[in-house]
């Protein structure tokens, strides 16, 4: 990969309404599904090891609950986020173990395909050496519309040099299956602030960053085939002990797109 200049672009390559995260927050708080068969949008997160999938769930929880919350677990569990009223938001997240190079390491592509179709039971622990089979106790033979995945989200770290070819092929296979199932997809670029001094200094430089633009255009769009307008840079909460409006702006913008895509899928396919 050629060297990338860290000098910020003069004009952002995408417009963002910084300082208006409260609008997206209110939109998410008011969001309700109108389908009687499904109580929540199910969002499945996948990506290479270290992409920040669990951290993204925690960050969404922080932004919605207006405080720093406890970490998500890494089994195949449904992560609900509680409202101030004690009820839960009408969307949930499932977090998979990461994709790794070679066979027998990381989550298996076959298992992700089964998860998309709703065949993986709550709490199932994936085995890199052996795919889930119909005879396993963790297999759900009769998934309901609510068990199915309604949005597939690829998380990819912006501080990695390049996608490993083996991992890339796995990601493409997962994307192809989701496309065959009609499941909407988007990508979230994480950890770019760790590689780009301009965004580490000021997150408002996200869409002026040459590194972010290259990662979005080259790694995620050209290599993986995800349309540019479905790739969103997000900074997860990591070392912060207080909420940050710029972080929330990126997180809530991504979340809003996820639940909108999920609702469209539920209304048209289920």
pLDDT digits (tens, 9 = 90+) for 157-175: 999 988 899 999 999 999 9
pLDDT in tens, the chain (270 residues): 455 566 789 999 999 999 989 999 999 999 999 998 899 999 999 999 999 999 999 999 999 999 998 866 666 789 999 998 899 999 999 988 899 998 888 999 999 999 999 999 998 999 999 999 999 999 999 999 999 999 999 999 999 988 899 999 999 999 999 999 999 999 999 999 999 999 999 999 999 999 999 999 999 999 999 999 999 999 999 999 999 999 999 999 999 999 999 999 999 987
What pLDDT does 5 receive?
A: 62
Closest CA to 124 of 92, 80, 78, 76: 76
What pLDDT does 75 receive?
A: 67
Residues 48 and 62: their CA atoms lie apart, in Å, by 23
**Runs of H (alpha helix) within the chain:** 21-30, 53-65, 109-116, 165-181, 197-201, 210-214, 245-269
What pLDDT does 8 receive?
A: 87
What pLDDT does 4 receive?
A: 59
The pTM score is 0.95
Residue 219 in tokens = 């790694």
Residue 189 in tokens = 């670029």
Q: How far is CA 262 from CA 35, 56, 151, 225, 228, in A?
A: 12, 18, 5, 20, 19
What pLDDT does 95 receive?
A: 87
What pLDDT does 148 receive?
A: 97
Residues 123 and 267: their CA atoms lie apart, in Å, by 28
pLDDT digits (tens, 9 = 90+) for 116-168: 999 999 989 999 999 999 999 999 999 999 999 999 999 999 999 888 999 99
* CATH for 39-269, options being 3.40.50.300, 3.50.50.60, 3.40.190.10, 3.10.20.30: 3.40.50.300
């Amino acid at each position: 990969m050629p060297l990338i200049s860290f000098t910020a672009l003069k004009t952002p390559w995408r417009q963002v309404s910084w300082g208006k995260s409260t609008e997206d927050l209110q939109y998410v708080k008011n969001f309700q599904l109108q389908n009687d068969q499904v109580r929540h949008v199910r969002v499945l997160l996948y990506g290479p090891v270290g992409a920040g999938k669990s951290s993204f769930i925690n960050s969404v929880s922080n932004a919605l609950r207006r405080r720093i919350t406890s970490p998500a677990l890494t089994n195949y569990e449904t992560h609900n986020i509680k409202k101030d009223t004690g009820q839960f938001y009408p969307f949930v997240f499932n977090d998979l173990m990461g994709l790794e190079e070679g066979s027998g390491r990381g989550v298996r592509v076959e298992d992700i395909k089964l998860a998309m179709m709703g065949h993986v039971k709550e709490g199932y622990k994936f085995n890199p050496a052996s795919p889930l089979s119909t005879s396993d106790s963790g297999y759900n033979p009769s998934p309901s519309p609510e068990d199915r995945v309604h949005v597939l989200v690829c998380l990819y770290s912006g501080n990695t040099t390049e996608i490993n070819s083996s991992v890339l092929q796995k990601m493409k296979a997962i994307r192809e299956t989701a496309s065959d199932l009609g499941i909407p997809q988007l990508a979230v670029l994480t950890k770019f602030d760790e590689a780009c001094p301009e965004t580490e200094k000021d997150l408002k430089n996200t869409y002026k960053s040459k590194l972010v633009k290259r990662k979005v255009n080259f790694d995620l769009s050209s290599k993986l085939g995800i349309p540019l307008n479905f790739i969103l840079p997000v900074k997860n909460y990591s070392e912060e002990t207080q909420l940050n409006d710029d972080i929330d702006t990126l997180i809530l913008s991504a979340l809003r797109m996820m639940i909108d895509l999920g609702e469209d899928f539920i209304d048209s396919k289920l």
